Amino acid sequence: MPTSPLLEFARIPFDDFEGCLDFVERHSGYLDFEQDSQIFLWQAVKIHERLFRNQIEEHLRQEVLLFLEQCVQRYMFLKWGSECGIKRLKTYIRRLVLTPQTVRYNYLSGMLILHPTERLVYLNEWVPFSSSFISKSNHSASSSSVMDYFRPLRLFCILYDYTYEEVEKAARARLEETFMNKLQHRLEPLKRRRHNSTT
C-alpha cells in the first residue's frame, strides 16, 4: 500500500463515513479514481491470498480482517467515483453520513460478523424501523425518517457484500492460476524427458 494519502484513506474505520467523505473532499484533486481503486483491489486480493494460505498469525487475524474490509470498501467507493463521477460519489456518501449512528452501528456490526454466504439473508431481513428498535435507538426518530435514512445504508451493504465476494473470487482465481503454473513448470521436464526417450 503506497504511503499517504492513500494509506490514510485505508486506515479510516469501516463505519466512519464522515471520515471517508472528508478525505474524498480534501483529496479529490489528487485522486485518480480508476488507478487508485485498483490499488485497493490489489491490496484486498493479496490479503485474501494470505488468509487462504494461513499466512496471518492468529493474534493479528482480526486486525487484518478489519483492514481487508476497509480496503474492499475503499475500492468500492473509488470505483463508484470512476464510473459515476466525484460529485455523485460525494452526494451518496453524504446520504450515508445522515444515517443515525445507532442504526449504522447495529446494522454494519451485524453484517460484518456473519460469514459472507449468510449476509444477503441478513440484509434482506433486518428491519431497523420497528417500534421497539426506534424506542431503544432514537426516541425522536419516526419510522418513516429512519426508513428514509436506512435505504442508502442498505444499498451500500448489498453492494459491499457483492464487491467482497468478487474480490474473494479474484483471489481464489489467482491462487488457482499460480498453482497450475507451478504444476505446469514441474511437468515440463517430465514431458521433455518422455519426448526424448521416444525419439
Cα distances from 106 to residues 47, 69, 74, 100, 128, in angstroms, run 26, 17, 21, 10, 9
Q: Please give the pLDDT value at position 135.
A: 43
In one letter, which amino acid is 182? K
- Domain assignment present for residue 1? The answer is no
Residue 36 included in any domain: yes
Residue 188 resides in a domain: yes
**SS3 helix, strand, coil % of the chain, rounded to 5?**
80, 0, 20
**Number of domains making up the chain:** 1
Asked if residue 96 is part of any domain, the answer here is yes
Distance CA 162, CA 104 (A): 19
| 3 state SS for 21-65 | HHHHHHHCCCCCHHHHHHHHHHHHHHHHHHHHCCCCCHHHHHHHH
Is 23 a member of any domain? yes
Distance CA 99, CA 152 (A): 8
Per-residue pLDDT of the chain (199 residues; tens, 9 = 90+): 655 688 899 999 998 999 999 999 999 888 899 999 999 999 999 999 888 888 888 999 999 999 999 999 999 999 999 999 989 999 999 998 888 778 788 888 888 888 777 877 787 776 554 434 444 444 444 555 556 667 888 888 888 888 998 999 988 888 887 655 555 656 666 666 665 666 6
Give the chain's radius of gyration (CA, Å): 21
Within 10 A of 163 (CB to CB), how many other CB atoms are there?
17
Decide if 25 is inside a domain.
Answer: yes
Task: Give residue 130's domain range.
Answer: 6-198
Query: Could you identify the residue written with the cell 446494522?
Result: 107
What is the rounded distance in angstroms from the CA atom of residue 46 to the CA atom of residue 190? Answer: 32
Residue 30 located in a structural domain: yes
Establish if 68 belongs to a structural domain: yes
Dihedral class, residue 85 (left if φ above 0, else alpha if ψ from -120 to 50, else beta): left
